[in-house]
């Protein structure tokens, strides 16, 4: 499916037209570079919670997620214990999935330990060698780079981050630009994009899992 006209007549990625929440997220955030520890920890966490659910569900619960996870301050979330997990299991504002909640807490400890190294790790997977896809059929769900990223994250101790989730993360934080070619959202200027693409051996060594 190619880019479709939105309510203002401008062409957009088809998925953005499903709900006003999608439209705002698509126009203002999706694919824009994220370079803060808290911002990237938030995206990793939300992509993991989205697994098996609609992204619209996550968007509509985003404020509640931010309250539940201390504004995605990894240093704070890393201190959460069993009582906090039970508190979150009782929070109707978020997705009450015990495995995903415990993964978010465990991942916070890894993010806190890595610090700015977490940012450097993710930015090392920015792909600058791709052109925008022409249709939604050209957008992959998994790539060698996302498989390599998932493997590296798991190697550091991350949970609930597989190759598909890793690729959704790459799309969300601007490591790849998957806005369609005719989409009205302009490419982010290369001069303002951090990172430069994965080292060849990191990707070449990856095989789909």
Rounded distance between C-alpha atoms, residue 201 and residue 94, angstroms: 39
Query: Would you call 188 a catalytic residue per the annotation?
Result: no
Evaluate whether 135 touches 1 at the Cβ level (below 8 Å): yes
Catalytic residue among 22, 47, 152, 167: 47
User: Cα-Cα-Cα-Cα dihedral of 152, 156, 161, 167, to 10°?
Assistant: -30
Catalytic residue among 55, 80, 125, 167: 55
Structure tokens at 69: 């996870």
The position carrying tokens 């009450």 is: 96
Rounded distance between C-alpha atoms, residue 32 and residue 140, angstroms: 19
**Phi and psi dihedrals of 11, rounded to 5?**
-75, 140
Catalytic residue among 22, 25, 125, 167: 25
Backbone dihedral region of 72: left (phi > 0), alpha (psi from -120 to 50 degrees) or beta? left
Query: Would you call 55 a catalytic residue per the annotation?
Result: yes
Q: 79 has which bridge partners?
A: none
Contacts of 134 (CB under 8 A, 6+ apart): 2, 180, 181
Q: Which residues are catalytic?
A: 25, 47, 55
């Amino acid at each position: 499916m190619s880019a479709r006209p939105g309510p203002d007549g401008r062409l957009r990625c088809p998925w953005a037209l499903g709900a006003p929440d999608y439209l705002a997220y698509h126009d203002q955030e999706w694919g824009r570079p994220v370079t803060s520890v808290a911002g990237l920890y938030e995206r990793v966490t939300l992509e993991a919670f989205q697994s098996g659910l609609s992204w619209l569900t996550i968007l509509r619960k985003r404020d509640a997620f931010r309250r539940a996870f201390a504004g995605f301050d990894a240093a704070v979330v890393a201190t959460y214990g069993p009582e906090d997990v039970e508190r979150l299991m009782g929070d109707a504002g978020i997705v009450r999935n015990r495995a995903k909640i415990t993964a978010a807490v465990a991942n916070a400890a890894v993010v806190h330990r890595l610090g700015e190294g977490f940012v450097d790790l993710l930015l090392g997977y920015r792909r600058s060698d791709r052109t925008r896809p022409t249709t939604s059929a050209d957008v992959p769900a998994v790539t060698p780079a996302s498989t390599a990223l998932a493997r590296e994250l798991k190697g550091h101790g991350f949970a609930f981050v597989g190759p598909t989730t890793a690729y959704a993360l790459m799309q969300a934080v601007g490591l790849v630009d998957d806005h369609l070619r005719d989409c009205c959202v302009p490419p982010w200027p290369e001069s303002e994009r951090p990172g430069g693409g994965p080292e060849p051996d990191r990707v070449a060594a990856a095989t789909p899992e």
